[in-house]
Every structure is written in C-alpha cells, then in structure tokens.
C-alpha cells in the first residue's frame, strides 16, 4: 500500500504547479494526474456539476489503486471536498484554499490583494476565510477571467497575457497591496512575468507547497509514505491529449505521454 500512487486532479493543467511541489517534497511517491480540460473552467460551472466531476475523478483513481487524493483546484475543493471525504474515508484527501492566513500575516501595509477565479471569490468558503483570518487587514479581490484559458494554451509570455495581467494587478498595487495571493493553481506559472511587472518588495503567495506538506503529514500519520523509487508520473486529459502533451514541457519541464480520459 505504501507504494500505491497518489491521485491528483484539476479542471485543467494548472494543478501541475501543485504536482511539482508534491514531487519536490515527496520524490519517492508515484503520481497520477488528470486534467479535466474538456470541462474547463470549473469556475463557470454549477456546484452540482463540479461535485459530479469530483466523484468521477475519485472513482477513476480508486480503480487505479490510489492511496490518497489531492484536489489541485480551489473551485473543486469548495464544491466537492466535503462529499469526497465522506465517501472515501479510507483516503487522505487534501484540497486547496486561497492563502488568506499567511498573506494576512505577511502584509506590512495592511492591504492584501487576491487574484482568483470568479467562482472562488464568490464562494462561501472564501468568505469564511476572510472572516476568520483577515479581520485586521484590508483584502481587495480581483477576478481574472481569461487568464486560465491563456495558460491552458501554454501562453506565459505574450503581449495579450501581459496586458491582461497588468489590468488585474494594477488596481491591487494602486490600493496599496504589498502581498498578493495567487488564488488559482494556474497562476503560479505567471510568477516570472509578475516579477517583471511588480516591485521586488511585493510578496506573491500560493498554496502548492503547503498542500504538499499537508499531504506528507497525512501520509506519515497513516504510515503510507512510499520508500520508492517512484514510477514516472502518469497523465490523462478529458480533452485532446496531444494538446496537453504539447504543453507539458512548458509547464512540467519535461515531456510525457498523455492518455485520453473518458468519463
């Protein structure tokens, strides 16, 4: 059971940023990744639809013999993680949430900006995070329609992307934010571009590394940490697998075979 794989999924390729953090911290673990690209973006889907997709993913990973599940998607976590923990009590299950707590602790100006999808910003879970951790800071939220779609196409540098990102980040900086939360798993891929656009003293915070640490803790608690060696990561896509395979070298820094996910 220790050497069983870990299942990770996202609405698209953004969760590769989380997968990379897991592989960095837990190099002995074998990883399975499903990109539900055929249904992206989740942020525009109903909670009922997203819960159904979460169930489909969990069933698939169960058939693959997975020992744990990671929802590498903020929107899927909000909609589906509670049901999955109820239905799969045998698994350690780790979800995502915007890093409001560390951002509130890090800010010096008292102003925190949030870049996220509309679905995340409108969720009750996000509102609860603000109520719990952001009582002493001003939080400015910025929905970012269009960013996910560009990143899904492997676009990390174009003029169109830069102009879109400047339009989203500008109001946060103008309001005095010195800490910016990257509230979608796609957005860490934009860190190099963001660093060109913002002052050096602005903090960028995402939760991929924290997710990897939580997964490590849960696996250790259940004596499920693999001894290795890890098998190569396996990939599936519910859209064109060739498209995903073409951008894997850009976002994963290595090539890989992508199979078709049909469910």
Q: Does residue 222 share a domain with residue 190?
A: no
Asked whether residue 256 is domain-assigned, the answer is: yes
* pLDDT score of 228: 84
Asked whether residue 83 is domain-assigned, the answer is: yes
Q: Tell which of 205, 225, 250 closes a domain.
A: 205
Residue with tokens 């696996």: 219
Asked whether residue 81 is domain-assigned, the answer is: yes
Q: Phi and psi dihedrals of 104, rounded to 5?
A: -65, -35
Average pLDDT over every residue of 38-53: 90
Residue 180, both tokens: 């910016």
**How confident is residue 98, by pLDDT bands cut at 50, 70 and 90?**
confident
Contacts of 240 (CB under 8 A, 6+ apart): 37
**How confident is residue 49, by pLDDT bands cut at 50, 70 and 90?**
very high
* pLDDT score of 13: 94
Share of the chain above pLDDT 90, in %: 85
d(CA 133, CA 142): 18
Q: Does residue 27 share a domain with residue 108?
A: no
| pTM confidence score | 0.92
Average pLDDT over every residue of 20-24: 96
pLDDT tops 80 at residue 195 = yes
Asked whether residue 1 is domain-assigned, the answer is: no
pLDDT tops 90 at residue 123 = no
pLDDT tops 90 at residue 117 = no
Asked whether residue 66 is domain-assigned, the answer is: yes
Q: Does residue 114 share a domain with residue 48?
A: no
pLDDT tops 90 at residue 135 = no
DSSP string spanning 99-116?
Answer: -HHHHHHH-SSSEEEEEE
Q: Does residue 151 share a domain with residue 75?
A: no
d(CA 24, CA 212): 9
Average pLDDT over every residue of 12-23: 96
Q: Does residue 122 share a domain with residue 247?
A: no
* pLDDT score of 45: 86
User: What is the total count of domains within the chain?
Assistant: 2
**How confident is residue 64, by pLDDT bands cut at 50, 70 and 90?**
very high
d(CA 23, CA 234): 13
Q: Does residue 91 share a domain with residue 105?
A: no
**How confident is residue 42, by pLDDT bands cut at 50, 70 and 90?**
confident
DSSP string spanning 178-229?
Answer: -EEEE-STTGGGGHHHHHHHS-TT-EEE-SHHHHHHHHHHHHHHTT----SP
**How confident is residue 155, by pLDDT bands cut at 50, 70 and 90?**
very high
Q: Tell which of 205, 224, 247 closes a domain.
A: 205
pLDDT tops 80 at residue 216 = yes
Q: Does residue 13 share a domain with residue 104?
A: no
Asked whether residue 232 is domain-assigned, the answer is: yes
Residue 209, both tokens: 């590394």
* pLDDT score of 262: 87
**Better pLDDT: 40 or 193:** 193
Q: Does residue 23 share a domain with residue 87?
A: yes
**Three-state DSSP state, 2:** coil
The domain that contains 158 carries what CATH number?
Answer: 3.40.50.1860
**Mean pLDDT across the chain:** 94
Residues marked active site are found at: 73, 184
Q: Does residue 243 share a domain with residue 188?
A: no
Q: Does residue 238 share a domain with residue 187?
A: no
Q: Tell which of 185, 205, 225 closes a domain.
A: 205
Q: Does residue 129 share a domain with residue 214?
A: no
Domain ranges, residue 125 = 100-205
Average pLDDT over every residue of 130-140: 91
pLDDT tops 80 at residue 263 = no
* pLDDT score of 226: 97
Asked whether residue 231 is domain-assigned, the answer is: yes
**Better pLDDT: 59 or 120:** 59
Q: Does residue 229 share a domain with residue 177?
A: no
């Amino acid at each position: 059971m220790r050497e069983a794989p870990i299942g990770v999924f996202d609405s698209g390729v953004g969760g590769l940023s989380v997968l990379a953090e897991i592989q960095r911290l837990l190099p002995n673990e074998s990883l399975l990744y499903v990109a539900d690209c055929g249904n992206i973006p989740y942020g525009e889907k109903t909670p009922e639809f997203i819960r159904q997709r979460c169930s489909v993913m969990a069933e698939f990973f169960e058939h693959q013999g997975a020992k744990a599940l990671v929802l590498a998607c903020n929107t899927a976590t909000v909609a589906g993680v509670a049901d999955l923990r109820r239905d799969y009590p045998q698994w350690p299950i780790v979800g995502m949430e915007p890093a409001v707590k560390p951002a509130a602790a890090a800010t010096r100006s008292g102003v925190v900006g949030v870049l996220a999808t509309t679905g995340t910003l409108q969720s009750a879970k996000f509102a609860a995070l603000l109520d719990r951790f952001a009582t002493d800071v001003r939080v400015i939220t910025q929905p970012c329609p269009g960013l996910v779609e560009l990143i899904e196409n492997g676009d990390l540098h174009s003029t169109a992307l830069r102009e879109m990102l400047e339009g989203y980040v500008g109001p946060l900086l103008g309001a005095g934010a010195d800490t910016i939360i990257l509230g979608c798993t796609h957005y860490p891929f934009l860190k190099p571009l963001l660093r060109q656009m913002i002052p050096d003293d602005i903090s960028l915070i995402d939760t991929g590394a924290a997710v990897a640490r939580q997964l490590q803790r849960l696996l250790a608690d259940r004596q499920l940490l693999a001894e290795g060696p890890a098998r190569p990561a396996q990939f599936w896509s519910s859209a064109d697998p060739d498209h995903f395979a073409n951008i894997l070298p850009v976002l994963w820094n290595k090539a890989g075979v992508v199979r078709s996910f049909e469910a």
